[in-house]
Amino acid sequence: MLLRKILSLRLFRLSLRFILPLALALGLFAFAVVPLVDSLTLHWFVKDLDIRSQSLANAMQDPLAEYVPLNARDRILQLFDRAIRDERLYAIAFCDNRGRVVYQTLTYPKALGCREAPPDGRPLPAQVNLAQGSLHVAERTIEGDNGSLGRLILVHDMSFIEHRSAEARLYVLALFGVLTMVISLISVVVAHLSWRGWINAVKGMLRGERTPNAASAGQVDIQPLVGDLHAMLRELNLERRVLVDSPQLWTPDKLRSLLHDELAGDEVLVVSNREPYLHVHSEQGITVHRPASGLVTAVEPVMRACSGTWIAHGSGSADRETVDRQDRVAVPPDKPSYTLRRIWLSKEEEAGYYYGFSNEGLWPLCHIAHVRPVFRSADWEYYVAINRRFAEAVVAEARTDDPVVLVQDYHFALVPRMVRELLPKATIITFWHIPWPNPESFGICPWRAEILEGLLGSTILGFHTPFHCKNFLETVDRYLETRIEHEASTISYGGELTQVASYPISIAWPDSVADSPIDAVTSVAGCRRSVRDQCGLSHQQLVAIGIDRLDYTKGIIERFEAIERMLELHPDMVGRFTLVQIAAPSRSSLEEYQSLETRVRSLAARINERFPAGAQSPILLKIEQFDTSQVNRYYRAADVCLVTSLHDGMNLVAKEFIASRDDELGVLVLSQFTGAARELHEALIVNPYHIEQSADAIYRALVMPAAEQRDRMRSMRVLVRDFNVFRWAGHMLLDAARLRRRERIMTKIRAHSRPYLRRAAAS
């Protein structure tokens, strides 16, 4: 009984959602229509009175033409009295040519008299309002044998028009009231039936029905959603399978086990420009470094989980000395779990392919960060040649003819098509780690068609956000002849299908990589003390951290300007606050990056001079490389993390900061132009171009109460933990496994049907 009442209440609320807006809209429309009805009614009745007056004047023309010259007053008044027996005709008068009322009925208003036309020639108004009420006045010249005898004035009572207009208004309002009730009733009935149809159809799908039938669907066509709902169910089932005893959904072991089941041991190869480990000469001999790269941060844990081969450019000074004859080396050095295959580039090739076309052309083109892209034919030739070299390396490393190939980032836009030509059965997943611009911006590239064709060699093409997927689909639609299914987000080109999807990249949750115990040194309190001592800051100093490559897309200049503005607005923070900016040198051979470093150093020095505070200077700039453990110490020591990118695909610094804060304290100030901002809604989201807004957000972060910090950080930590890098990779690889199974089934079907087709053709 209680459940029935609850359902009835919900149905009533659902009905109100339809009825109230509809009633309000129709009511407003009715009140808007009423003045129009009044105007039309008045126009129609005035026109009717004009016609009646014309007819009556025509009837009285001959008698008056006879009586007026004879001055037959009695006959004229008798004629007038008979005429006003019509209940609508209120009074009659006759004016001579000198403008005097000569004959009139007793009801004729004295105030009306003989009206004179205005000197500008405008006609006299037909409707006048006197003490007697609203009257309609019509005049007609009476002609005699010798010309005009005078004017006949006919006055009609218009009170009946007001009565009929009031009745018309009531009829209109009543009509709209009835329409409101009828339409509301129909809408509610249809809504209830539609809702019941949707529920029945979804229940049928959950029971395993392939397609909803008309009866269960309740005349509602949900066919466009069937594929998405089935995909969601498959994803939930897969995630339910990996959730056994651990509260974390995706871990390396579970990813490895799941991929072993789904991909049946298929080999996985990764192609990227940057290698996960560099061997370099140092005073201690050959040492191993991990580069500061968001791509390496995201993909390296996946390779540890999946094994396989990583193909990358060998750029370390001791890289050649540590590989075998096939240019391979097992990594990680302490616990090898996959193979690193290094590709060698000459300085000219690196300058043209990497620094030239990739980073002077594609990087500014895609980031739209107000730096003009530069395209040179020589750079493009190197880009094509190096892409060909990496594609050939994929073929050389593949043990089968259908490997799973993960092509990483904008350095290898041509590799998917090249690998497809050499290994037609391969499953190629390309992930574009930077933003994809709108079609107009991408059209600047002279080789736009070649790049798009290269990417469409992919089986799956991934971006960080749906917005980047949409931009890519629109770009392909603008510049290539393809068939695009926007609902399914697929592109058919040259008889091959490419699935375009968003896979928000993430990081490996710390506990899922290593069980490193937290001691007094690595604890948050220990990191706070050691970092402040190392930087020469007091233990009470408020510290913000910025971790970036020294790149113009990271908004470092805008970040410093926001710090300056914050100190202007809140001078009490001078001497109490310091931004520690770690800027890893990047592409320092390029002029744009050299200029950026000069500007960053100059601005930091100027702000420190403007707000002198001894050792507690506002900005502590460190342009140097830091390893992962050092960066983690700074994350844990900071009160605030500033991520102010002007344009970024995702930006994993935001997620690394969140993952490091097991104390659930600290505030993240995050640019709205990062992919991370679409997930981390509890951060303080800012427009980095709006300096005052950023300054206010920094100050708010510094004074935010601990309780609010915990609420925000706890929510973001749950999201980053559950949506970690293994989930990112798992979803891409599971989608690839689904497509591989489908392709294998279609291959078998074609193989079985081929003999029948031959016999049919022969007959």
Q: Per-residue pLDDT for 356 more than 80?
A: yes
What CA–CA distance (Å, rounded) separates 130 from 605?
86
Between CA 78 and CA 404 the distance in angstroms is 112
Higher per-residue pLDDT: 450 or 287: 450
Question: Which pLDDT band holds residue 15 (cuts at 50, 70, 90)?
Answer: low
State the pLDDT at residue 752: 66
pLDDT at position 757, please?
59
Q: Mean pLDDT over residues 670-688, rounded? A: 95
- Whether residue 759 has pLDDT greater than 80: no
Q: What is the pLDDT of residue 583?
A: 92
E-strand stretches of 323-479 = 328-331, 338-343, 404-408, 427-431, 460-463
CATH class (in words) of the domain with range 520-723: alpha beta
Q: Which of 107-121, 383-397, 480-494, 715-729 has the highest mean pLDDT?
A: 383-397
Q: Which residues contact 653 (CB under 8 A, 6 or more apart)?
A: 294, 547, 548, 641, 643
The residues, any chain, with a CB within 8 Å of residue 2's CB and separated by 6 or more, are: none
The predicted-structure confidence for 501-530, as pLDDT tens digits, reads as follows 999 999 888 764 444 445 555 789 999 999
pLDDT at 246: 43
Q: How confident is the model at residue 52 (pLDDT cuts 50, 70, 90)?
A: confident
Give the residue with greater pLDDT, 285 vs 671: 671
The architecture of the domain spanning 1-113+126-232 is 2-Layer Sandwich (3.30)
pLDDT of residue 1: 47
Higher pLDDT, 363 or 742: 363
Above 80 in pLDDT, residue 539?
Answer: yes
Mean per-residue pLDDT of the chain: 84
The residue whose two tokens read 């049919």 is 760
| pLDDT-based confidence at residue 727 (cuts at 50, 70, 90) | confident
How large is the average pLDDT for residues 194-216? 56
637 vs 543: CA distance, rounded Å: 8
For residue 244, what pLDDT is reported?
40
Q: What is the pLDDT of residue 713?
A: 96
Transcribe 281-310 into DSSP letters: EETTEEEEE----HHHHHHHHHHHHH--EE
Q: What pLDDT score does 435 carry?
A: 94
Residues 51-68 have a mean pLDDT of 86
- In this structure, of 177-186, 275-284, 730-739, the range with the lowest mean pLDDT score is 177-186
**Residues belonging to the chain:** 763
Q: Who wins on pLDDT, 494 or 559? A: 559
Domain 288-502 belongs in CATH node 3.40.50.2000: yes
Asked if the domains 1-113+126-232 and 288-502 are classified in one and the same CATH topology, the answer is no
Residue 344 vs residues 330, 388, 406: alpha-carbon distances, Å: 17, 13, 20
Delimit the domains of the chain by residue range: 1-113+126-232, 288-502, 520-723
301 prior amide bond cis, ω within 30: no
Which residue from 688, 643, 699, 661 is spatially nearest to 509, judged by alpha carbons? Answer: 661
Q: Distance from first CA to last CA of the chain, Å, rounded?
A: 71
Structure confidence at residue 255 as a pLDDT band (50, 70, 90): confident
Give pLDDT, residue 140.
86
Banded pLDDT at 101 (limits 50, 70, 90): confident
List C-alpha distances in Å: 153 to 40, 72, 77, 102: 26, 18, 13, 11
- Order of strands across the sheet that contains 89-95: 101-104, 89-95, 147-157, 133-144, 127-130
**Which two three-digit tokens encode residue 400?**
């089968």
Are the CB atoms for 268 and 306 separated by under 8 Å?
yes
- 739 has pLDDT over 60: yes
Q: Among 126-130, 307-311, 700-704, which is the least confidently predicted range?
A: 126-130
Are 662 and 692 within 8 A, CB to CB?
no
Residue 252 CB contacts under 8 Å (≥ 6 apart), including other chains: 301, 304, 305, 508, 512, 513, 726
Position 335 scores a pLDDT of 86
Higher pLDDT, 295 or 454: 454
